[in-house]
Structure formats: structure tokens, C-alpha cells
A = this chain, B = another copy of it.
């Protein structure tokens, strides 16, 4: 039996004990948003640090002004030649369990529920993210049990504020940059494509926001006395907003698509081959017509195309009934989702120039102070770490992993890139029906078991290089 097979056999043999350890973790109500549970968050961090020490990690609870982090180091010394140094990230805090009355059993009393589709682990945090982070820890435990060592240098970072704003992350990175910097980050907080198809999230859209305040008359006017003579800022603002997209859904701001590439042919073929029902995706929210650029699939639109979106608008009288006012001012909030190499600062500059160019000489526009923004993130298709993970997942699941995108931003991944210079592989085993953040959250036993095996294989492949 190869080393790898021995470790995988150990995972299989140890599954009941792995489950017991996960249950022990799930019994700690580490709700991060509610100060009443602050002690439980500390207890949870202590529990994890002790567990990691028991495996052989150099692990400690690391206090912050919020809930503590857990940081652990294990495996060969970084730079000793054994594989790339990986930073594994997960979070031990959970969403509040409310509404309690909708749970079929106590949210912090984990249990196995048998269903025709297989066994499920039911508890708050079973999927998000205690079940997922334990897949990696159990993989490391199996390696240590069989080989007495990990195949590559591993740093583990477990956060306790992911569900409540991650306020301590940025200062923690700043204070511990050298300790936390590795060759690649691994995050287990995402999903599979479906119950049989693994997925790696390799692209996240960036985001940048702005707000425009359009002023026409210097004060609110009576629409009878001035209507027809005075420009209405709502009319002007509407004209500007309407001009943001052309008839094909393309954003008309000059320079907007600088740095946006068409989809790689391999990725496009992979996405086109996915069992994704556009009608169902849109139908779930009452729609049927994709709103973005014509001629592109919905997956491409949300994963690989930029957007200009008005998130809020207000002007004039908005109470009950009518008021014959021409308001002085109207305003709108806008966000741009970014892909490829779009530069957030340049996007905002171009947007503002585009708006200013449409202002009549006697009206004015002001913008909110710059709020920063995140560029898009994309793991290069020729990344050796990505290649290793793809091989590993294909071996375990007997299916190619889908390289998916996420339309939203995941701040921690941006921080890994911006603050620690690392690419991230987002590999998780959750499923769409896991009901994370909702009552009766579950994690399939198969996700847990095969997730552990997947990390064993990923570490093995990364170590082989």
C-alpha cells in the first residue's frame, strides 16, 4: 500500500472518531454576533487549539480586540524543500440559530439524520464552517497518524468573526505578516458544483462603489410656478442612469472594459457543459430574461463579466400622496462589479468623467468621498497549485473539478492577495441545499468523509509539485 493509500485508509477507518470530534466542536455555541456568546467563542478557540496541539501542531489561541484567532504551524519547515507552504483558512464562529422554533432538534445538539440520499450531519455550523474546516484538520490528523509528519509545511488560521464582519483580520494580518505568509492559501468555505462534482472557485469579481448627488435648482421649487422652465434633477439623474447601458446591456462608460478579457476557451467549454438551468436560476427570483450583455450565458454574466448597478436612488417627495415639487437634488448609489484587470480607481474616475460630461452647464454633480474597492481575483490557469488540486479532486471524485467563479467578493481572499501576496484556492464540499444561515443546517456525511479524503490527496499532490 502506498503512503497515500495508507493515509486514505486511515481516514476511512477513523471516520466515526472524526465525527465524534466534529460533534464536540458543533456543541460549542460560538455565535459571534451576539456578545452573550463571547465566552463560547473563546472556549471554541481553546478547543481547536488543544485539538491541533494533540495532532502535533504548534497551536495557540491568539487574542484580538474581538473574538480570538487560532494559529497553528505543522509539517516540515517552510523552505526545507518539502512542497509549497500552505495557509489553510476557516472560521469557527457560526450564525445565530434563530428562529429556534424552526429547528427539528437543538441547533447545538448535532445528530445524524438518515435520508434516502444518505446520512446528514444536522447542527448549526455543520456546513458553515465547522464541518468544512474539520475536513482539513482530520486530513492532517490522518497524515500524522500514519506518517508522523505532514507532506508539506502547513499554517492554519481559524477566525472567530467571519459571520460578524471580520473586524480583527486586517490588524491581525498587519501584526503577523511574516508568520502568516505562505505560498498559497487554501480556504474551505465554498461548495461543490453538485453532490458528485467537485469545484474550485478560481475567480471572484471585485467591487467598487460610488454615489452621485445631482443638483439643479438651488432650492426646491413649485412645479406649477417653475415646471417647464427649471431642470429637474430626477430627470437628469434618470438620463444619466439610463445612459449607463446600451441596448445590448453593455456598459457605455468609456474605458470600462479595459482589462476585461473574453473567457478562456477551456473554461467556457467547461461552463457551457455544466448542468446549469438558467431558467430555473432566474425563475427562482421571478425573472426570465438575463439583464446583462446579450449573447453571453448567465454563468458568464455573473462570474466573468463586470456590471454597473444602481443600488439605491432617492430624490424629491417620497411620502404618501403627491407633492408638486421640483426638488433641488437627487442622488444615486452605484456599484461596479469588476473582473480581470479592471482598476477600481480608474473605473470610478471614468464613471465620474462620464457623468460630468452629461451635466448641463447650470447643474452640478458631486460624488461621495472615495470608498476604495477591490480588484477582481483570478487564479491563473497555469498555476501549479491549481493543477495539483485539480488532479487530486479528479482522483477522489472520478470527475474533473469545475473551475467556477463567484459573482460576489470574498474579502479574506482579497486580503490574502493584497496584504500577504498569496493566491487562494477556494475548495469546499458544501451543497446548495445545506441551509447555511438557516434552521436545520446540514452537511452531508459524504461531503465530510470525501472532503477529508480530498484534502489528503490535495496535500499529497501539492507536495509532489
Contacts and interface: CB of A to CB of B under 8 A. Distances in A.
A222 B337 CA distance: 12
A333 B317 contact: yes
A231 B235 CA distance: 21
Given A223-B337, A229-B302, A314 B318 contact: yes
A318 B408 CA distance: 21
A260 interface: no
A372 to B, nearest CB: 11
Contacts of A35: none
Interface in A211-234: 211, 216-219, 221-232, 234
Interface residues of A, number: 78
Listed residue (A234, A238, A242, A337) with the most chain B CB atoms within 10 angstroms of its CB:
A238
A74 interface: no
A121 B365 CA distance: 44
A371 interface: yes
A409 interface: yes
Given A242-B239, A291-B228, A316-B333, A311 B305 contact: no
B217 A287 contact: yes
B231 A241 contact: no
Q: How many of these chains are in the complex?
A: 2
Contacts of A281: 229
Interface stretch (A322-330, A346-354, A451-459): A322-330
Contacts of A309: 223, 227, 232, 235, 324, 326
A332 interface: yes
B219 A285 contact: yes
A172 B304 CA distance: 67
Contact of A218 (B217, B231, B286, B327): B286
A33 interface: no
A232 to B, nearest CB: 6
B301 A229 contact: yes
A228 B289 contact: no
A258 to B, nearest CB: 18
Nearest to A315: B313
A197 interface: no
17 contacts: A207-B224, A216-B286, A223-B335, A225-B408, A227-B302, A227-B307, A227-B309, A227-B337, A229-B298, A232-B291, A234-B313, A235-B291, A287-B363, A311-B322, A312-B323, A312-B327, A313-B315
Closest 4 CB pairs of A and B: A224-B408, A218-B286, A312-B316, A238-B241
